[in-house]
Amino acid sequence: MATILFGWEQGLGLGHVVPHLNMLKCLKHAGHHVVFAARKPERVSELVEDTGIEVVESPLIKIPPSSNDVAYTYADILHNIGWGWPDALLEAVKAWHALFYDIKPDLFVMNYCPTGLLASQGYPMKRALLDHGFTIPPPVSPMPNMRSWVKVATATLLQREQRLLATMNHVAKIHGFGDFRFVGELFSRVDACFFLGYPELECYPRASGTQYWGSVLPSIGESPSWPRVGGKRVFVYLRQFETLPALIKTLKASDCSVLMYAPSIDAETLSGFVCESITVVDKPLNINEVSAQCDLAITHSGYNMSVDLLMAGCPLLLLPLFLESFLIAQKIEQMGAGLAAPMLKPQGMADKLQRLLNEASFGEAAQRFADKYAEFDRKNQPANLAKALQLLI
């Protein structure tokens, strides 16, 4: 049997973990040695306890505190996570090499793991990228400007990209693998790309016929218990931001039954949100059950959460905090299944909340999305992915 390494390097949420657990368990049950290189190894260890899946820490780039440049392209994102610091990047690549030497993977499956992908060049292993489209940029130069509302000259994008390319080729020269012609070429030096999710939420143009593997059916978490008062049910999944108290005030004044899960907000702050119509829980909820029961959800437009809610025909109030979530919010708005309030202004959030509660068109658009993919086998998606990955070995 083979040794399979699953790498998670960038991104903070457990959306890089939970959707893939059943797939990894399928690979383990098939007799493979499965190792999870995790950005947050302690948290992952809790989730895979008693599965036989080994957990190690994913090597990370150590860079000094600094203000990041505005990211227009994925190349800019790579610069900001540490690729703009050649010495720090080389140290991280060295750490990945040490991990490869210890584990000796036959297959390296990567979920937002660009430094691992770079480090793996020249090693005798199969490589697969597995994520939704944001982290798998197309092999073009310059990479697409993801801030389409900001006009940036092509020459400027190319100049920024060329600086990063020089660093990549410096690493390639030191470690003896082939130069890159352009930054995006790295993401084509793999044996397979597994695009998760659905084309409606894709942020890059893709080739005709690109296969999307959809999303997994959520299966973990506790059953929801809604407040006994209030009318429409609103699920809230947010982190702390400056105007959050104003949004909670609006929800308290509404005739809604609100269920809130906010694991990154301290307990003292959350206790001030609780009232007769707002219940705050401190443990993960079964999103499959939540989405089937709520009339509206308020989130930061993370990909997996957004998909899970849309697949139940639930409209969304989207409060994106980062570029990736802003792009997802844009796509959902274009579908007509939600409204985004990226400025997080109290009046803007309140106005859009009222529209979503009172206008049926948003729920209808979400239901059209759900109906389109109703036949997709979300339950068996992990097993199907595991089978496809094993064909690479």
**Looking at the predicted structure, is the pLDDT value of residue 225 above 90?**
yes
pLDDT digits (tens, 9 = 90+) for 354-380: 999 999 999 999 999 999 999 999 999
Within this chain, do residues 89 and 211 fall inside the same structural domain, yes or no? yes
Q: In the prediction, which pLDDT does 66 show? A: 72
Band of residue 229 on the pLDDT scale cut at 50, 70, 90 = confident
Q: Considering the domain boundaries, does residue 247 fall inside one?
A: yes
Q: Mean pLDDT, to the nearest integer, of 36-43? A: 96
Burial of 120 (0-12, 13-18, 19+ CB in 10 A): buried
Q: Mean pLDDT, to the nearest integer, of 257-275? A: 93
Q: Mean pLDDT, to the nearest integer, of 250-260? A: 96
Query: Considering only CA atoms, which of 329, 322, 255 is closest in space to residue 298?
Result: 329
SS3 annotation, 105-142: CCEEEEECCHHHHHHHCCCCCEEEEEECHHHCCCCCCC
Indicate the average pLDDT of the chain. Answer: 95
Q: Considering the domain boundaries, does residue 224 fall inside one?
A: no
Q: Mean pLDDT, to the nearest integer, of 198-213? A: 93
pTM over 0.75? The answer is yes
Within this chain, do residues 37 and 99 fall inside the same structural domain, yes or no? yes
Within this chain, do residues 45 and 163 fall inside the same structural domain, yes or no? yes
Band of residue 291 on the pLDDT scale cut at 50, 70, 90 = very high
H-helix or E-strand spanning residue 330: helix 323-335
Band of residue 15 on the pLDDT scale cut at 50, 70, 90 = confident
H-helix or E-strand spanning residue 232: strand 232-237
Any residues with CB less than 8 A from the CB of 257 and at least 6 apart, and which? Answer: 226, 227, 228, 229, 230, 231, 232, 233, 234, 277
Q: Considering the domain boundaries, does residue 222 fall inside one?
A: no
Q: Mean pLDDT, to the nearest integer, of 91-108? A: 98
Within this chain, do residues 322 and 384 fall inside the same structural domain, yes or no? no
**Looking at the predicted structure, is the pLDDT value of residue 67 above 70?**
no
Band of residue 230 on the pLDDT scale cut at 50, 70, 90 = confident
CATH of the domain at 154: 3.40.50.2000
Tokens of 383: 């097993």
pLDDT digits (tens, 9 = 90+) for 153-184: 999 999 999 999 999 999 999 999 999 999 99
Percent of the chain at pLDDT > 90 equals 91
State the residue range of the domain holding 142. 3-217+378-390
Q: Considering the domain boundaries, does residue 225 fall inside one?
A: no
Within this chain, do residues 204 and 284 fall inside the same structural domain, yes or no? no
Percent of the chain at pLDDT > 70 equals 100
Q: In the prediction, which pLDDT does 151 show? A: 95
Report the C-alpha gap between 164 and 286 in whole angstroms: 42
Domain count, the chain: 2
DSSP helix/strand/coil, 39: coil
Say which DSSP state 50 is in.
T
